[in-house]
Amino acid sequence: MGFYGKQPVTEDQCSAVYVWTGLRTPGFFSVYVEGDAQNYSYGFDLVRDPHFVGGLKIDAMGWTGPIGKGTSHYKVRGSFQGEFRKEIVISGSNGDFAIPVKEIPHDEVENYVKSKNLSEV
């Protein structure tokens, strides 16, 4: 039987980009998290903390079980709407980490999306 809960994150492997969707229009955060989770973990997801005020806090979540020796590396992405913040908080089982947010202006979104699609092929 698996248990659902926060997973450990590696702070220096987390990143966030804010994509502006237009003038005077809120955009969205594209968040990327990596970490090393207990064997056997699966079903990783990023979940917005609905009780956090004053910005954006993302919980790195996943299922673990049955418990095995060692760890396995995981990567997960998510997107979240909201107003721009210079920093967001990534929360894992090993703590909370404030990470900087890079901005993508609305007139550069198309190039940003194309570059991401090409790098993932």
Q: What is the DSSP letter of 87?
A: E
Q: How many Å apart are CA 105 and CA 108, to the nearest integer?
A: 5
| pLDDT of the residue at 118 | 52
Q: Kindly tell me the number of DSSP H helices and DSSP E strands found in the chain.
A: 1, 8
Q: What is the DSSP letter of 119?
A: H
- Angle CA(114)–CA(117)–CA(119) in degrees, nearest 5? 105
Q: What's the structural domain count of the chain?
A: 1
Residue count (the chain): 121
- Angle CA(12)–CA(18)–CA(20) in degrees, nearest 5? 165
Q: Cβ(59)–Cβ(89) under 8 Å?
A: no
**pLDDT, the chain, mean:** 92
Which residues contact residue 85 at a Cβ distance below 8 angstroms, ignoring those fewer than 6 apart? 18, 55, 56, 101
pTM of the full predicted structure? 0.89
Residue 121 banded pLDDT, cuts 50, 70, 90: very low
Range of the domain at 52: 3-119
87-105 confidence digits (pLDDT tens): 999 999 999 999 999 999 8
5-41 confidence digits (pLDDT tens): 999 999 999 999 999 988 778 899 999 999 999 999 9
| pLDDT of the residue at 76 | 97
